[in-house]
Amino acid sequence: MVKKPLVVAVSAACLNLSLIAAANAAGFVEDSKATLSLRNFYINTDNRNGTANPSRVMDWGQGFMLNYQSGFTQGTVGFGVDAVGMLGLRLDSGGKATGGTGGSVQNGTMFPRDTDNSAVDEFSSLGATAKMKISETEFRYGTLIPKLPVVVSNDGRLLPQTYQGAQITSKDIKDVTLTAGQLERAKNRNSTDEDDLSIAGSNGAANAALRRNSDHFRFVGADYKVTKDLTLQYYFGQLEDFYNQHFLGLVHSVKLGDGTFKTDLRYFDSNSQGENRKADSTGLYVSSGYYGGTRTTGEIDNRLYSGLFTYSIYGHTFGLGYQGSNGNSAFPYLNENGGASTYAITDIQINNFTRSGEDTWQARYSYDFAQLGVKGLTAGVIYQRGDNIRTRTGDAMEWERDLTVSYVIPQGQLKGLGFTWRNAMLRSDLPAVSQAGVPGQRDVDENRLIVSYTLPLL
């Protein structure tokens, strides 16, 4: 007679726990999203001068990116998980790449290379991110694709660059977004391997035997929306044993006549940290730059400041910008020698114009053809010229012109299917191959054709 109430009590308790779990999991399932992104990418890079191979690089591939984002379980503390699966298929490639020094096998511009330096037929990777949310504060641990002033994931080929680490983002304070985190490893856009973190000068591009790494990049920052038209930013980034970097930003928009005038101001102050402070004497943990005589590597010392001013009216956008790079070193940023991006206004298709001493002027124009009744069609051009690049033989210059035409189908069954053509031309009076005290830069003509589509699954 005693067992029956006990069985009933246990059964009721189990049922209650099941109902609570189901209720808590409701948000996890109901708010889940999944997409399949397809990207067909063709690139043809023609190196116009110099005798070093390769003189022309051509790659064509198909990328698939399956992205799943769960909701959060219900309750004071919500839990969730995100996952990403990426696959790249080679459709064509321009033969074998030239191997690097120091016994390394160099990845191609789009695909990893096999042991004989030929492009692999396919490459893939999986990533998962655990997440937790309390009020408007979210913590994430695992695979991250950051886009912050002090660290920008590169997405310039078939698949995006990813990082492993942790990040916390809070919007609990009105009009303020707080961000902090730590990155430990990077998976480049053309690789299946996770690498330690590094910078230009120490990433093994010239000689793999001289590569030096870090396994900690820490960052913290705040975005303060003063008004709906004015945002102030401060970020700090530290790559252990390489550099400390402070960033200040201001973005402001104002109505001017029938158009909108936008101001974008950015300032980076970067200095040596840890082992890099001894770089001048050890020759290790170095940055690229110019340090007098024949020295092109040394201690980090750079101030990068810029202003970009644009005016948009009736589909037209006109822009003028200036950027200065002061100090012995080039502007430092995460660069594992597999394709990297920066938050510089001059980071365009081929080069980013952040060398030691470089002063860059930029002009840009774009047009949205929706004003003429052709929805989805846009075109734009950017021209920029960098002078006063510091070298042993005197100041050098470089210029780049980029042209982009894009069309995205605006409606119908193929809504969202996009087509993009990008053409770029880079010219410089730097030598094609690095010399003592002078960095190398080949003249380049490049075309990219991209077809993209994102299919919602959930």
Tell me: the pLDDT tens digits for 331-377?
999 998 888 999 999 999 999 999 999 999 999 999 999 999 999 99
Distance CA 424, CA 348 (A): 9
Tell me: the pLDDT tens digits for 374-431?
999 999 999 999 999 999 999 999 999 999 999 999 999 999 999 999 999 999 998 8
Locate the domains of the chain by residue range. 33-456
Residue spans of the chain under pLDDT 50:
1-23, 98-106
Q: Cis bond leading into 54, ω under 30°?
A: yes
CB 353 within 8 A of CB 323: yes
Tell me: the pLDDT tens digits for 167-194?
999 999 999 999 999 999 999 998 888 9
Q: What is the pLDDT of residue 96?
A: 53
Beta strands 243-256; 122-134: pairing state:
unpaired
CB 143 within 8 A of CB 225: no
Strands (E), 75-161: 77-93, 122-134, 137-144, 147-148, 151-152
The gap between the terminal CA atoms of the chain, to the nearest Å, is: 51
pTM: 0.90
Q: What is the pLDDT of residue 285?
A: 94
Beta strands 297-298; 287-288: pairing state:
antiparallel
CA–CA–CA angle 95, 99, 101 (5° rounding): 170
CB 426 within 8 A of CB 403: no
Instruction: Tell me, rounded to whole angstroms, the distance of Cα 27 from its chain centroid.
Output: 31
Task: Specify the amino acid at residue 324.
Answer: G
CATH, domain range 33-456: 2.40.160.10
